[in-house]
Structure 1
Amino acid sequence: MTGQEELLMLRALVEKQKEELAAKDDIIAKQNIRIENMVQALLQARKKLFGSSTETSRNLDGQLSLFEKTQELAKELFGEQQKITVPSHTRKARQPGVRQEMLAGLPKEIEEYIIGPDDSCVKCGGALTVIGKRIVRTEVTYEPPKLKVKQIVQQIAKCTQCGKEGSENPKDHFQKAAIPVPVLPHSIATPSLVAQVMYQKFAMGMPFARQEKDWYRLGLILSRSNMANWTNRCSEEWLTSVYERILAELRTCEVLHMDETRIQCNREEGRKANSESYMWVIRSAACETIRAVFFHYSPTRKGEIARQLLSGFHGYLTTDAYAAYEQVENIRRNLCWSHCRRYFIDSIPLTSNGKEIPGSKGAEGRAYIDLLFKIENEIKDLPYEEIREKRLERSRPILDAFWSWVDEIAAIPTTNKKLTKALNYSKNQKKYLETFLEDGRLPISNNLCEASIKPFATGRRAWLFADSPKGATANAVLYTLVESARANELNVFEYLNYLLTEIPNSDYLHQPEVLEKYLPWSQELPEVCRLNHNYKKCLK
């Protein structure tokens, strides 16, 4: 081999090594991007788990100056328009009389300490004369609940004429006094006891296992299996009729919210115990005359379930971007801007201590959406037709600027996968994200429905799963009644107690119209079912 050939071989070897090094550098760069994306995903997950749950934007030091385009747009849009004057809010000191108003609905007793006839002056020993009294302090005491045994005694009478010679009825006749129908025959259960079991689990999030210990403390051995059986039977026999009526009334609305959340059902036929099932939730919009929340259990998340639930509904449906809702007929979809906003929030890079890194495109996208929510907050009290006009006048230019920004940023290559996801989501759902401009009644987000789901999601952390499909269905019935009662400012325990007392003694099977007075928004509900207005004023 000549020297020239050796030189060519060495050059070829060097070129090959350069190519291999470049390929390795490319692999390392991709791995670094991957690692950074994984680190950001971990930081975002830690922020969701341990950070603040509020979605309210906060002004970070030095951040606003990075969004000059957004700021200029806001100044241009808001500066030349006539704005609605919103008075600034300053927190006032507690006004005199608020405590008295709050305590006005509670029973009172006076505990008086007197000066005895044998008492004398501690200074000189002289006799004392009572000259008046003064209230030293006002306290609220807690009396633990009490259980008592109630025996139902039925009087029996014998007819003085039947059985006598010449009587129309030759046999003796015994007549029993009328008694109310029990909520569960051959059981110690009463409406109040079952209502308290239901209230503790479905309104307060206390699973049956914890209630078991509390009932034992009160002197009653009440197993979790008994409580589960009572709940399943009462929901199936007495409460399902009201539950189904609520769904029928929701279908008559013109604007609805809908969402779904997971639930685990252990003994679902043909499925593993750890399989995920779903709780579908429908909520009437704020513009509707009825305030109702409906939960429905289903083993699947198929669009057929949504189509069945909304059969007969014609109107606007506010949801997330889940494609299953496309199977629902005769609706106009209105997508939630809060969901879109969350994608941009998730794309904002974080420091190792969970703080946002200023200057990100994700924060800039969030800033655009915040402008939409700011407008909604300013116009929320206007008539619906004026809201629609204000949206076209003020929100439309922001939307146009936002879509231009999305197209501009999407054209720039980025290693931030979550930012790419947020941009693609926005572009793909543009049509439905703009639906809220069509009607002033339409909400800009699905937050109202999510607020109704939150108690269910919080309770699920405690009770973890439903043991059977029957139990999961009972969950749906009870959460429907509890959340609908809350939406109508009812006392949840008293409402459940009223239903379990009245429905068994009504002829609702032959006269379905009687169910009208049992619906959560009915004006015929007794006053005991309604929250005390003094309490609500003080809680504001």
Structure 2
Amino acid sequence: MVQPQSLQSLSEEQLRTALLSVMQEAAAKDQELAYKQAVIDKLTCENALLKRMKFAAQSERFNPEQKSLLEDEIEADLAAVAAEMDALLQAPAQTPATPEKKQARRLPLPAHLPRREIRHEPESTTCACGCRMLRIGEDVAEKLDYMPGVFSVERHIRGKWACAKCERITQESVEAHVIGKGIPTTGLLAQVLVGKYADHLPLYRQEAIFGRAGLAIPRSTLAQWVGTCGVRLQPLVDALKTEILSHQVLHADETPVAMLKPGNGKTHRAYLWAYAPGAFENIKAVVYDFRESRAGEHARAFLGEWRGSLICDDFSGYKALIASGVTEVGCLAHARRKFFDLHAANKSQIAEYALQQLALVYEVERQVKELDAPQRAAVRQEKSKPVLDALQQWMLLQRQRVPDGSATAKALDYSLRRWAALTRFVDDGQLPVDNNWIENQIRPIAIGRNNWLFAGSLRAGQRAAAVMSLIQSARMNGHDPHAYLKDVLTRLPTHKASRIEELLPHRWQPTAI
């Protein structure tokens, strides 16, 4: 910025330039403040709505189990909103902070639980002035840890050391925690997250399990932990999405999930979308995206400017993407399924022959699975292309012989209409033959859905999608989800944002002990 005393030495043109620079800087700061204030206003409104839902009249029509699940999600949503607002209020150039709320006095952890002391003492007890410091006391903070079936307590003891000469007190600090001033260790937080999103145990069941282990943690407390951890882990999910979109071959699929609309106590069909790099890409990962519907706009919003080869089924929601430049790659397993269902229904000879020919193609795929892309393409050209060309001609002839509207006609039409997309893998060794890779990643969600009544809110569904993205990606890379989340939650508070990619499941290396 130009100093006042130097203004007189500037020419008129220089003054205009300097003034323009100051105005642009002020406008940028005003825009930043306006954006942050808009986000805070939005979160404040959402917070008020959640509180009204939490303290709503008892006459709302939920059965006891439904009500408890909804209360869990509201508590988690409230904690998530609070964490997001705290992050905004702690940012620089913010309006004056509101007075800090007094924290409720926490009850001591049960005395019967085993304790493990972790001492934080200075490496040297010699003061900077050269005098030897004396230990004058200590601060003790207790955190609740959990191993399957067993609670224990970590006692963090911070000795106080004083120098008599310079009257200075020295005390080692404790590393930042993902939940500041909270009682859970990252091991306990990882257990709650894995229980809820990998083992599909609602929080009221976890409360009972913890009770049998010696301490029944209220589900409202567990929900607050879940909400806060969801916010803290979101930057990892965002980085994983960026990583996935850097690849030119992607799988996409979606599965329905019931979502509650608290206004009328009813549910409607929401969708969990799944995206993963191609089966032959050099990364194993998946990102789930929870949305209120199956509208194609959600896929377009997720993929943004990405233009590559998308393996998907014949769902119309992807057509706008394909029209905008995305290359459609069909799923041969879907085409095969049409003939399989036809053969199972009436032992159709046409379906039987089609299945035999497709089996030859899949046999080639088993042979080329471990080859590199050029070798895979060469073998496909030699062995699969002749089979598929003959199959197409045979299908065209059979289609002329069967009546329109019949089950056989529908099975043939599905393949013939999409033949270019279904056989695109023959010319590109990097493309997989079907969409089974992403269907395998979405299957755990479909299985876990049997334990869900519904997603309590859009925010709750998005939080579940984020955490499940990390858990499933960790599994895909051979990691124990509990060990992965425990380590990541431990490192996140002090990890540089510019190096967040180091904590992604496919790059993660456990902290050396």
Going from structure 1 to structure 2, the CA distance change for 1:395 and 1:272 (only over 3 Å counts) comes to: farther
**Residue 506 of structure 2 corresponds to which residue in structure 1?**
521
Going from structure 1 to structure 2, the CA distance change for 1:272 and 1:436 (only over 3 Å counts) comes to: farther
Q: 1:289 aligns with which of 265, 276, 282?
A: 282
Q: Distance in 2 between matches of 1:479 and 1:346?
A: 32
**Residue 263 of structure 1 corresponds to which residue in structure 2?**
257
Question: For 1:18-58, what per-residue CA distance to the aligned partner results, in whole angstroms no more than 9, with x for missing partners?
Answer: xxxxxxxxxxxxxxxxxxxxxxxxxxxxxxxxxxxxxxxxx
**Residue 230 of structure 1 corresponds to which residue in structure 2?**
225
Question: For 1:232-278, what per-residue CA distance to the aligned partner results, in whole angstroms no more than 9, with x for missing partners?
Answer: 22111x21011000000111112111111111221478x97321111
After superposition, where does 1:14-413 map in structure 2 within 5 Å? 145-156=149-160, 176-236=171-231, 238-267=232-261, 273-328=266-321, 329-350=324-345, 357-413=346-402
Specify the code of the residue in structure 2 equivalent to 1:518.
L
Deviation of residue 502 (structure 1)? Answer: 0.9
Specify every segment of 5 or more residues in structure 1 that has no aligned partner in the other structure, as ranges: 1-142, 164-172, 351-356, 529-540
After superposition, where does 1:458-473 map in structure 2 within 5 Å? 458-473=447-462
Q: Distance in 2 between matches of 1:181 and 1:459?
A: 34
Specify the code of the residue in structure 1 equivalent to 2:331.
C
Specify the code of the residue in structure 2 equivalent to 1:310.
L
**Poorly superposed stretches of 4+, deviation over 3 Å:** 151-163, 173-177, 223-226, 357-360, 413-418, 523-528
Specify every segment of 5 or more residues in structure 2 that has no aligned partner in the other structure, as ranges: 1-146
Paired residues of 2:261 and 2:268 also in contact (CA < 8 A): no
Deviation of residue 523 (structure 1)? Answer: 5.6
**Residue 451 of structure 1 corresponds to which residue in structure 2?**
440
Going from structure 1 to structure 2, the CA distance change for 1:272 and 1:435 (only over 3 Å counts) comes to: farther
Query: What is the DSSP-based 3-state SS (H/G/I as helix, E as strand, rest coil) of the residue aligned with 1:147?
Result: strand
Q: Distance in 2 between matches of 1:369 and 1:419?
A: 16
Paired residues of 2:342 and 2:348 also in contact (CA < 8 A): no
Specify the code of the residue in structure 2 equivalent to 1:500.
L
Which stretch has the larger CA shift, 379-388 or 213-222?
379-388
Paired residues of 2:332 and 2:433 also in contact (CA < 8 A): yes
Query: What is the DSSP-based 3-state SS (H/G/I as helix, E as strand, rest coil) of the residue aligned with 1:283?
Result: strand
Q: Distance in 1 between matches of 2:386 and 2:509?
A: 48
Going from structure 1 to structure 2, the CA distance change for 1:513 and 1:144 (only over 3 Å counts) comes to: closer
Paired residues of 2:161 and 2:171 also in contact (CA < 8 A): yes
**Residue 128 of structure 2 corresponds to which residue in structure 1?**
none
Specify the code of the residue in structure 2 equivalent to 1:150.
E
Q: Distance in 2 between matches of 1:144 and 1:349?
A: 46
Which stretch has the larger CA shift, 174-183 or 303-312?
174-183
Query: What is the DSSP-based 3-state SS (H/G/I as helix, E as strand, rest coil) of the residue aligned with 1:148?
Result: strand
**Residue 26 of structure 1 corresponds to which residue in structure 2?**
none
Deviation of residue 162 (structure 1)? Answer: 7.0
**Residue 78 of structure 2 corresponds to which residue in structure 1?**
none
Count of residue correspondences: 365
Deviation of residue 406 (structure 1)? Answer: 2.0
Going from structure 1 to structure 2, the CA distance change for 1:526 and 1:152 (only over 3 Å counts) comes to: closer
Paired residues of 1:317 and 1:334 also in contact (CA < 8 A): yes
Going from structure 1 to structure 2, the CA distance change for 1:331 and 1:359 (only over 3 Å counts) comes to: closer
Deviation of residue 363 (structure 1)? Answer: 2.6
Q: Which has the higher strand share?
A: 2
Question: For 1:443-499, what per-residue CA distance to the aligned partner results, in whole angstroms no more than 9, with x for missing partners?
Answer: 001111111111111111112321112211111111110111111111211100011
Q: Residue 433 in 1 paired to residue 427 in 2?
A: no
Query: What is the DSSP-based 3-state SS (H/G/I as helix, E as strand, rest coil) of the residue aligned with 2:309?
Result: strand
Q: Distance in 1 between matches of 2:242 and 2:439?
A: 21
TM-score of the superposed pair, with normalisation by structure 1: 0.63
Specify the code of the residue in structure 2 equivalent to 1:148.
S
Specify the code of the residue in structure 1 equivalent to 2:317.
A
Paired residues of 1:349 and 1:360 also in contact (CA < 8 A): no
Q: Distance in 2 between matches of 1:252 and 1:225?
A: 39
Q: Distance in 2 between matches of 1:197 and 1:429?
A: 45
Q: Distance in 2 between matches of 1:456 and 1:144?
A: 23
Deviation of residue 315 (structure 1)? Answer: 2.1
Give 1 or 2 for the bigger CA radius of gyration. 1
Query: What is the DSSP-based 3-state SS (H/G/I as helix, E as strand, rest coil) of the residue aligned with 1:471?
Result: helix
Specify the code of the residue in structure 2 equivalent to 1:149.
V
Which stretch has the larger CA shift, 177-186 or 317-326?
177-186
Deviation of residue 418 (structure 1)? Answer: 3.3
Paired residues of 2:373 and 2:429 also in contact (CA < 8 A): yes
Specify the code of the residue in structure 2 equivalent to 1:261.
T
Deviation of residue 197 (structure 1)? Answer: 1.1
Specify the code of the residue in structure 2 equivalent to 1:199.
V
Q: Distance in 1 between matches of 2:170 and 2:406?
A: 79
Q: Distance in 1 between matches of 2:148 and 2:465?
A: 30
Q: Distance in 2 between matches of 1:397 and 1:462?
A: 47
Going from structure 1 to structure 2, the CA distance change for 1:465 and 1:223 (only over 3 Å counts) comes to: farther
Paired residues of 1:278 and 1:299 also in contact (CA < 8 A): yes
Paired residues of 1:485 and 1:495 also in contact (CA < 8 A): yes
Paired residues of 1:228 and 1:471 also in contact (CA < 8 A): no
